[in-house]
Amino acid sequence: MALQKFLDLFESKTKKSRAIWEEARKILPGGVSGSAAYLSPYPVYIDKAEGGKLVDVDGNEYIDLLLGGFPNILGHSPKAIVEVVKMQLERGTNHILFQETGVKLAKKMQQFMPHLEMMRFCNTGSEAIMFALRVARSWTKKVKIAKPEGGYSGQNDYVLVSSISGKTAGPPDRPISVAECAGIPKFIVDNTIIIPWNDINATISILREHADELAAVILEPMQGFGMGDILAEKEYLKAIREVTEEKNILLIYDEIVTGFRLGGLGGAVKYYGVVPDLACYGKPIGGGFPVGAFGGRRNIMERTCSPQADPEFKIFQSGTFTGNPISMVAGLRCLIELETKDYSYIDNLAEKLRGGLLAIAAEQGFEIQVSGVGSMFYIHFNSKPIRNMRDKLRDDVNKNREFSIGMIANEVYLQPLHPGATCFAHTEEDVDQILVVAKKVLKEMRQ
């Protein structure tokens, strides 16, 4: 079986990682400090990362398609960001008070995303989602939220419902809320309404039915980590926008993944031309350091987030590391660098990967779908087109894992069951090598 061959190769090349894992799992569940870092049979431990490459503790060099979960759009440790961070380290690491650089970063984001009339920074994308939902409840005086089946919007309890694992219930056009994992209270599940992705009639019917109790609809314009890079159809987004405006429901975009990737610097609003009330950002806006941001309409943000706001609407939002100077200088430098870049470069690299993977799979007798747009992609071992989570459930996840383990064993880091992405440090030669490895792996899987 090809999987065993791949595992044997992986284990022969990662003996130091294995030894570290044996010690790590005695004190860290799974030997890691976050599930995203786990890999079966054991995780790879990284020694260094530069450009588009990772080097593990055994000295193996990988072409990196995970890119830290996508914040490293410029690649790992770009010199421009490293230099400004070194300078800031000498001026202070964290003092909870704000600084001018954070103001400049906010203005730079607004330059490309005018719908961010006002914004606040926080520490992670999950925090940004949490605060945006709090704002929505304060503004509308309603409690429930709606989200797509299969949509992943971070680790807040209210969005860990019918999310990343593929748990579903009910008919496709009337999904029933399902707790994503243990520890999610029933009252939260009951207050989270699930809508079917890209089904206009069913979604609008559900939103109208619950309009009097819905504070917000939150969605990723491209369903990334949960659904595998499945874009919203434009008419679907427009229909949701229309009903939310009519029924005093806030529309929130989760652009933690797509912001500054989909549609280039303009994100999903530029790509679709459909403007939300609030939007959440992260990843690239920290330049590789922890960050989150949420913002949108001035009247909403000022009335809910200002320290001088009316107590009836004012939310609490703060944090020890919120807007810390390291993340702010790194994020500002990252956006300044991105201004000079031609996004067609990383988009074309990913398009070459998507097309090449499809051609190689067909040549080797595999039916796959390669979804995504711009610089992002996901490989579905699935013979039919995918528009929503129910379609994705037809994926052969065992083949996906086998393929990814084969890629990793051959020094292309493509995390199982996770989207991949290109960055500005990747080269045409990297893409050529990825396709060479993919052909080798699929050939061995076929045999």
Q: Which residues are catalytic?
A: 152, 254, 283
Phi, psi of 257 (to 5 degrees): -90, -45
Going 269 to 274 to 275 to 278, the CA torsion angle's sign is negative
Helices (H), 174-324: 186-190, 200-209, 234-246, 267-272, 298-305
Residue 251's Cα: distance from chain center in Å? 18
In whole angstroms, give the CA distance from residue 419 to residue 360: 19
**Closest by CA position to 375, among listed 228, 223, 236, 260:** 260
How does DSSP assign 329-398, residue by residue? HHHHHHHHHHHTS-THHHHHHHHHHHHHHHHHHHHTT---EEE--TTEEEEE--SS---SHHHHTTS-HH
Amino acid at 191: N
- How many Cβ atoms are within 10 Å of 393's Cβ, its own excluded? 14
- What type of residue sits at position 228? G
Q: Who contacts 107 (Cβ-Cβ below 8 Å, separation ≥6)? A: none
Q: Counting beta carbons within 10 angstroms of the beta carbon of residue 270, is it exposed (0 to 12), middle (13 to 18) or buried (19 or more)?
A: middle
Nearest residue to 128 via CA among 43, 252, 19, 302: 252
Contacts of 400 (CB under 8 A, 6+ apart): 379, 380, 381, 416, 417
Q: 10 Å Cβ neighbour count for 3?
A: 16
**Is the torsion defined by CA of 119, 125, 130, 136 positive or negative?**
positive
Task: Tell me which DSSP letter residue 97 carries.
Answer: S
Q: How far apart are CA 370 and CA 284, in angstroms?
A: 24
Cα dist. 440→11, 20, 115, 424, 446 in Å? 19, 30, 46, 26, 10
The sheet carrying 369-371 orders its strands as 369-371, 376-380, 420-421
